[in-house]
């Protein structure tokens, strides 16, 4: 076995911006390159993260870990991939060396002796039967990761089973090889949580119908497996059809918090701290982003999503608009499953029990976040919009033939919570 590298090169939008230096079995530290530092330090598009501002000094391991650990899978998915790669689960540096060719956003992390993967970039088309095999194998091969050095090398945070792919202009799916940017995900139904793909598909459709900017999703049946197709909002396509990475980071990364701190109860982000972060961004969209975030939080609450934590909201570094709130993603009604905690990942006005959240809670949230006393009226108006969108999407699901007991259960949750707020209870 080759000895582990001592350093990794870090690229942003294909350009080298710094390096990671290994300082221990599970410790490493980041430093920007001289060329990166000589750029415009006031330009937020030049930084790797809001928590890693451009500076000459090397960042300490405790400062470096939140952003880079946030690029890696979590929980059982991380443990399975680490075992497949012959690494300790705690060895984030080693996992970045193995998987960093295609991360969330426009970051790539590669061993220093492999400065470019461009010569090996390719996509291998998949038949529907092969897609089915890969989807069924996800518990053993999370993300579709291949231990072969020339195979699939990619990383994406989160704990849910997902297959990371390229969708070709023909509509075919393909596996990205040699560091080719992926542009979509497939999430199959889950054995433990009935109707999970339908659940997310319905919630995402309601969110979009109600006026939230949301990632594009679609329910598909592939080789007899129902799954949710989701386009990556951190990817775009240029004039010649090349997939281009857009930089992004989740709120934990931006706030310098480890993935283990994604819940407010674990010293993670609160609604107020995310709003404060959005207000610190030098963006002409500042007011729009704050409103969009509050709408997203309310939409998730009404649909029963108690798992809307700090890693489920992100900043998108968009060349066209600058730093802005990313489209909504990963909206799932957890309230319809009895064995999931009902506690909100981010409390509303200090209350994390959704059954106790009323207009007074939203009023307190308005006071603690600087949104003011008009927030309750906004909540009532927006609750009516989300409720109406839920009813429309419920009828659409029935007419289009993908209704499921879980969609009616989600609608019941929304009706109860929305009417409670609309009636001022």
**Residues 107, 11 share a domain:** yes
Are 124 and 100 found together in one domain? no
Residues 266 and 412 in one domain: yes
User: Does the structure show a pLDDT above 70 at 3?
Assistant: no
* pLDDT at residue 140, as a whole number: 79
Residue 129 lies in a domain: yes
Query: Are residues 146 and 222 part of one domain?
Result: yes
Write the DSSP assignment of 137-182 as a string of letters.
TTTTSTBT---STTS------SSS--EEEEE-TTS-EEEEETTPPP
> Which residues are CB-neighbours of 161 under 8 A, at least 6 positions away?
77, 138, 139, 142, 187, 188, 190
Q: β-pairing, 122-125 with 322-325?
A: unpaired
**Furthest-apart CA pair in the chain: how many Å?**
66
Residue 5 zone, left/alpha/beta (φ > 0; ψ -120 to 50; rest): beta
Residue 307 is a catalytic residue: yes
| Domain co-membership, 128 together with 100 | no
Q: Are 68 and 30 in contact (CB under 8 A)?
A: yes
Query: CA angle at residue 407 from 309 to 387, to 5 degrees?
Result: 75
Q: Does some domain include residue 241?
A: no
Domain stops at, among 80, 111, 142 = 111
236 domain residue, yes or no: no
What backbone phi and psi angles, to 5 degrees, belong to 231?
Answer: -80, 140
Can you give the CATH number for the domain in which 321 is found? Answer: 1.10.1070
User: Does residue 6 carry a pLDDT above 80?
Assistant: yes
Q: Does any domain span residue 402? A: yes
> Are 101 and 122 in the same domain?
no
Containing structural domain, residue 253: 249-422
Tell me, yes or no, whether 107 and 143 share the same domain: no
Tens digits of residue pLDDT in 301-326 = 999 999 999 999 999 999 888 899 99
Containing 398, the helix (H) or strand (E) segment is: helix 375-400
Annotated catalytic residue within 234, 289, 307, 318: 307
Question: pTM (2 decimals)?
Answer: 0.93
98-111 pLDDT per residue, tens: 889 888 999 999 99
Q: Is 100 exposed, middle or buried (0-12, 13-18, 19+ CB in 10 A)?
A: buried
Provide, for the chain, the percentages of residues in helix, strand and coil under a 3-state DSSP scheme, each rounded to the nearest 5: 40, 20, 40
- 265 shares a domain with 220: no
Q: Determine, yes or no, domain membership for 1.
A: no
pLDDT of residue 150: 43
Q: What is the pLDDT of residue 283?
A: 80
Residue 212 maps to a domain: yes
Contact yes or no for 156/74 (Cβ under 8 A): no
Is 258 within the bounds of a domain?
A: yes
- The mean pLDDT of 72-94, rounded to a whole number, is 90
Backbone angles phi, psi at 407, to 5 degrees: -70, -40
Q: Are residues 81 and 157 in the same domain?
A: no
Residue 392 host element (H or E): helix 375-400
User: CA angle, 303 as apex, 325 and 298 as ends, to 5°?
Assistant: 45
Please indicate, yes or no, whether residues 253 and 106 belong to a single structural domain of this protein: no
Residue 2: inside a domain, yes or no?
no
How far apart CA 286 and CA 336 sit, in angstroms, is: 34
The number of distinct structural domains making up the chain is: 3
Domain stops at, among 50, 84, 111: 111
Residue 141 has pLDDT above 60, yes or no: yes
Backbone phi, psi, residue 328, to 5°: -70, 140
For residues 396-420, give the mean pLDDT.
96
**325 plus 399 within the same structural domain:** yes
Is residue 221 over pLDDT 70? yes
- Contact in structure between 210 and 389 (CB atoms under 8 Å): yes
Among 197, 231, 265, identify where a domain stops.
Answer: 231
Answer for the pair 174, 113: CB distance below 8 angstroms, yes or no: no
The backbone torsions φ and ψ at residue 187, rounded to the nearest 5 degrees and listed phi first, read -115, 110
Q: What is the pLDDT of residues 24-60, one digit of tens each?
A: 888 999 999 999 998 777 788 999 999 999 999 999 9
**412 and 334, same domain (yes or no):** yes
Residue 339: partners with Cβ closer than 8 Å, 6 or more residues away: none
């Amino acid at each position: 076995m080759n000895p582990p590298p001592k350093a990794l090169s870090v690229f942003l939008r294909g350009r080298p911006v710094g390096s990671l230096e290994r300082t221990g079995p599970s410790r490493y530290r980041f430093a920007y390159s001289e060329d990166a530092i000589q750029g415009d330090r006031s330009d937020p598009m030049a930084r790797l993260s809001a928590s890693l501002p451009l500076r000459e000094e090397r960042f300490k391991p405790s400062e470096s870990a939140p952003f880079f650990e946030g690029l890696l899978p979590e929980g059982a998915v991380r443990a399975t991939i680490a075992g497949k790669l012959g690494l300790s689960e705690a060895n984030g540096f080693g996992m970045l060396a193995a998987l960093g060719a295609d991360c969330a956003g426009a970051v790539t992390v590669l061993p220093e002796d492999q400065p470019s993967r461009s010569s090996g970039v390719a996509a291998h088309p998949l038949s529907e039967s092969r897609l089915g095999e890969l989807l069924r194998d996800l518990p053993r091969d999370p993300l579709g990761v291949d231990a072969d050095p020339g195979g699939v090398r990619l990383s994406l945070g989160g704990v849910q089973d997902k297959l990371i792919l390229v969708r070709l202009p023909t509509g075919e799916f393909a596996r990205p090889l040699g560091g080719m940017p992926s542009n979509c995900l497939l999430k199959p139904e889950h054995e433990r949580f009935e109707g999970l793909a339908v659940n997310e598909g319905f919630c995402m459709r309601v969110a979009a119908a109600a006026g939230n900017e949301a990632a594009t999703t679609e329910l598909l049946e592939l080789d007899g497996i129902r799954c949710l197709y989701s386009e990556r909002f951190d990817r775009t396509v240029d004039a010649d059809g090349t997939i281009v990475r857009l930089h992004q980071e989740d709120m934990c990364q931006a706030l310098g918090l480890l993935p283990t701190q994604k819940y407010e109860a674990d010293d993670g982000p609160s609604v107020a701290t995310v709003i404060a972060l959005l207000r610190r961004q030098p963006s002409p969209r500042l007011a729009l982003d704050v409103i969009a975030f509050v709408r997203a939080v309310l939409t998730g609450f009404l649909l029963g999503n108690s798992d809307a934590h700090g890693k489920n909201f992100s900043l998108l570094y968009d060349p066209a608009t600058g730093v802005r709130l990313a489209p909504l993603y990963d909206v799932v009604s957890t309230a319809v499953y009895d064995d999931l905690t009902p506690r909100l990942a981010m409390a509303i006005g200090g209350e994390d029990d959704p059954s106790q959240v009323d207009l007074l809670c939203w009023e307190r949230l308005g006071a603690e976040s600087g949104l003011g006393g008009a927030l309750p009226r906004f909540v009532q108006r927006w609750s009516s919009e989300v409720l109406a969108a839920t009813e429309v999407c419920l009828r659409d699901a029935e007419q289009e033939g993908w209704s499921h007991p879980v969609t009616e259960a989600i609608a019941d949750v929304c009706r109860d919570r929305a009417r409670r707020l609309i009636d001022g209870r």
